[in-house]
């Protein structure tokens, strides 16, 4: 069976033979006609759902979004006038807070004994901070250099967190030294694993980390290795389990809802085939790690059990950075490097 390395070696030669979608769109479809996705996962596109007044509530990059127990949609941006923006499901602005994260990036929600708390990562300042949902600071992790975990030569630029049922905090150093660092709930360092490289348990852009509880008896960490077009699965004590290879898809963090995994694809291999840099889409996998739909992307295709190249099919998105799923299975797509635009809603049909 072809491996990820085989695919990467072949991609430059095979690129010219790949049949790519056309980008000559004559006119934007009306809302009722603009439907994307495949199989049971098809969506009507609401491009203007999250639009706000940029003079009062601006964004730079809409990095990530979560939904709290009240049904509020909470988003982090790297705009220090309002790092956190809170919407209702209609797209109405409810509140904002925060002005201390010039590269506000990762946003994780955790149920702490019946109370929602948030973890924010800022890769430029090297901060990981725990907050209440209304912005009260509860905890800040110590920089790994200060606790002897990193040497001076190792950069630290955390991009994401995941929280275990016992409160342990996993930090993805996705823009730094490519480790996953584990801390206790009180912030004491436990271990690190991963690191840069092409080995099974190593990363190239460890952009995200997510707790996958679909098997409640054996939860695992779903770690992103974006430049490898892959998710890598680990035990909670850092032992490598397996790789989910997604050819052509530069995925961000995994989002688990019911039995499915959703992820924003920041760009696809079209970027390297000189087609377009703005080549993102959304990908959806079932609990057997098979892709079932690519809203905005090409239909998933398996040949002899091997997933084929996936790329953008329609220029709806630029760079999908995160996906939030609501109770009706609608999706809210946050984008990086998308002209300071607000999230797009995908209404499940």
The CATH number of the domain holding residue 108 is: 2.120.10.30
Number of domains the chain contains: 1
Q: How would residue 30 be classed by pLDDT, with cut points 50, 70 and 90?
A: low
What the block records as the tokens of 37 is 């996705």
Residue 304 CA to chain centroid, in angstroms? 29
* pLDDT score for 275: 82
Name the pTM for this structure: 0.91
Average pLDDT over residues 33-51: 95
Compute the mean pLDDT over every residue in the chain, rounded to the nearest whole number: 92
Q: How would residue 24 be classed by pLDDT, with cut points 50, 70 and 90?
A: very low
Average pLDDT over residues 191-207: 98
Instruction: Tell me which residue range forms the domain holding 139.
Output: 4-348
Other CB atoms within 10 Å distance of the CB of residue 146: 8
* Unique residue bearing structure tokens 């499915």: 260
Other CB atoms within 10 Å distance of the CB of residue 10: 13
pLDDT surpassing 70 at residue 7: no
- Between CA 108 and CA 118 the distance in angstroms is 6
- Between CA 179 and CA 225 the distance in angstroms is 11
> Which value, to the nearest 10 degrees, does the dihedral of the CA atoms of residues 52, 105, 251, 277 take?
60
Least trusted range by pLDDT, from 16-20, 65-69, 314-318: 16-20
């Amino acid at each position: 069976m072809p491996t990820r390395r085989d695919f990467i070696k072949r991609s430059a030669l095979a690129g010219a033979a790949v049949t790519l979608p056309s980008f000559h769109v004559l006119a934007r479809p009306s809302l009722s006609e603009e439907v994307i996705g495949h199989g049971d996962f098809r969506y009507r596109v609401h491009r203007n759902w999250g639009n706000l007044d940029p003079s009062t509530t601006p964004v730079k990059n809409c990095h990530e979004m979560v939904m709290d127990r009240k049904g509020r949609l909470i988003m982090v941006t790297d705009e220090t006038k309002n790092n956190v923006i809170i919407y209702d499901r209609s797209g109405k602005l409810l509140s904002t807070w925060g002005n201390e994260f010039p590269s506000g990036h990762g946003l994780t929600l955790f149920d702490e004994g019946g109370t929602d708390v948030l973890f924010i990562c800022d890769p430029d300042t090297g901060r990981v901070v725990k907050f209440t949902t209304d912005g009260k600071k509860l905890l800040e992790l110590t920089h790994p250099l200060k606790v002897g975990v990193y040497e001076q030569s190792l950069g630290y630029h955390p991009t994401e967190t995941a929280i275990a049922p016992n409160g342990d905090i996993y930090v993805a150093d996705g823009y730094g030294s490519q480790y996953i660092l584990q801390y206790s709930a009180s912030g004491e360092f436990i271990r690190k694993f991963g690191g840069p490289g092409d080995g099974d348990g190593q990363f190239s852009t460890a952009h995200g980390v997510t707790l996958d509880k679909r098997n409640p008896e054996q939860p695992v960490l779903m770690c992103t290795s974006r430049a490898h077009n892959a998710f890598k699965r680990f035990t909670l004590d850092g032992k490598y389990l397996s790789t989910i290879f997604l050819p052509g898809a530069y995925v961000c963090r995994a989002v688990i809802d019911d039995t499915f995994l959703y992820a924003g694809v920041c760009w696809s291999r079209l970027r390297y085939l000189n087609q377009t840099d703005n080549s993102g889409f959304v990908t959806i996998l079932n609990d057997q790690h098979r892709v079932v739909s690519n809203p905005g992307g090409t239909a998933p295709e398996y040949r002899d059990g091997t997933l084929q190249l996936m790329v953008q099919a329609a220029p709806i998105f630029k760079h999908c950075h995160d996906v939030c799923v609501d109770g009706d299975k609608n999706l809210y797509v946050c984008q990086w490097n998308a002209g300071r635009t607000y999230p797009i809603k995908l209404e499940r049909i």
